[in-house]
Amino acid sequence: MIIYVTTIAVLLLLAPLLLSFIKSLKMVLLFKRPSSLLQGYRNFSKLMKKETIISQETSSITTYAPFLVLSPLLVTMFFLPPVVHGAFYVSFVDAFTITGLLSLSTFFLMLLGLDSASAFGGMGSSREAFISALVEPAMVLTVFSVSMMAGDLGIGQAGVNLAEHFPKEHMASFLFAGISFFILLIAENGRIPVDNPETHLELTMVHEAMILDLSGVYLAIIETAASVKFVIFASLFVSLFIPLGLQYSAPVAILIFIAKLFGVAVAVALLEVNTAKLRLFKVPNLLGISIVFAFLSLITFYVLGA
């Protein structure tokens, strides 16, 4: 139980750091002077001190939606697979529920975008709706396939099973599912090539457009939600597809887990530096690749058993 609580606390604390890490790594790779690793925390504490400006066109949705965006994600944090062998994990939640909770958060985020009557908000919501509609089938199919290899749909149990018995005999389908999930990680967190989190150019904005009218604490909440979402996806990816190093003692295992999270962050940063942002209407192709890999994973598992 102590390990369980510690892990969640560590993940929460780590969330802003990971995104700042990606940003500064990207800057290093682009020969720029990197921003501080603590920038995420600085932004947070500054935003918490600022006053909140609420648009006069908004309704009660803007007052409550930021909390409803963050709370499903915070709840999801409690359902992640264990990072240490034999640690406590929540057994009554399965992967479909997690998918649903993430969609719930996105649902309120999209409503938030439409609430302020600005053209930007609507545009962001519309694009997000388009992307997340196509993410959904890929996500469900990947979950379907992973649950077969892990022998359980329950997300905690699946993580434990995969760590105890690495699916060597199903390496091909495991790999396909991993590729599919990595594409989802990028798409759901709005990273390049799907969305560019750094610019405020209307052609490229998705996530930033929806939250353009937020400020102060509300903005801090939404930014926290974004970083928590990234941590959730990264740790799901790490627990399900790199289930190694859980057998060591608790501090070591947690350190290994954190190292793996940073590994994912490095991968995302390298991908971001090496690709350009896709046009919105090319994004379905990328998500289509993800769907195809998920199907491939299922088919190889069924037909070849590999």
Confirm or reject binding of residue 299 to another protein (CB under 8 A). yes
- Binding to another protein, residues 248-287 (CB under 8 A): 280-281, 284
Q: Which stretch binds another protein (CB under 8 A): 172-180, 231-239, 259-267, 298-306?
A: 298-306
d(CA 111, CA 237): 28
Instruction: Identify which of residues 25 and 226 has a Cβ nearer to another protein in the complex.
Output: 226
Q: How far is the CB of 12 from another protein (least distance, A)?
A: 13
Confirm or reject binding of residue 93 to another protein (CB under 8 A). yes
Q: How far is the CB of 179 from another protein (least distance, A)?
A: 17
- Binding to another protein, residues 118-157 (CB under 8 A): 118-119, 121-123, 125-127, 129-130, 132-137, 139-141, 144, 147-148, 150-154
Contacts 24+ apart (CB under 8 A), 22-26: 22/265, 22/268, 22/269, 22/272, 23/198, 25/265, 25/266, 25/269, 26/269, 26/272, 26/273
Confirm or reject binding of residue 232 to another protein (CB under 8 A). no
Q: How far is the CB of 162 from another protein (least distance, A)?
A: 12
Contact between residue 99 and residue 143 where contact means Cβ atoms under 8 Å apart:
yes
Q: Which stretch binds another protein (CB under 8 A): 5-13, 16-24, 91-99, 257-265?
A: 91-99
The Cα-based distances of 248 to 23, 208, 236, 253, 283 in angstroms read 31, 41, 19, 5, 41
Q: Which single residue is written with the structure tokens 């994004």?
A: 283
Confirm or reject binding of residue 115 to another protein (CB under 8 A). yes
d(CA 232, CA 185): 9
Confirm or reject binding of residue 172 to another protein (CB under 8 A). no
Q: Which stretch binds another protein (CB under 8 A): 33-41, 89-97, 227-235, 255-263?
A: 89-97
Confirm or reject binding of residue 107 to another protein (CB under 8 A). yes
Q: How far is the CB of 124 from another protein (least distance, A)?
A: 9
3-state secondary structure (DSSP) of residue 199: coil
d(CA 269, CA 179): 16
Residue 116 sits at φ, ψ, to 5 deg, of -85, 5
28, 57, 247, 252: residue in contact with another protein (rule CB under 8 A): 57
Using alpha carbons only, give the angle 131, 135, 136 rounded to the nearest 5 degrees. 125
Q: Which single residue is written with the structure tokens 């369980």?
A: 4
Q: How big is the chain, counted in residues?
A: 306
Angle between helices 119-150 and 171-188 (to 10 degrees): 160
**Cis amide prior to 193 (ω within 30 degrees):** yes
Q: Which stretch binds another protein (CB under 8 A): 5-13, 49-57, 187-195, 242-250?
A: 49-57
Could you tell me where the beta strands, DSSP code E, fall in 187-234?
A: none
Instruction: Identify which of residues 30 and 119 has a Cβ nearer to another protein in the complex.
Output: 119
Confirm or reject binding of residue 31 to another protein (CB under 8 A). no
Instruction: Identify which of residues 32 and 200 has a Cβ nearer to another protein in the complex.
Output: 200
Confirm or reject binding of residue 188 to another protein (CB under 8 A). no
Confirm or reject binding of residue 51 to another protein (CB under 8 A). yes
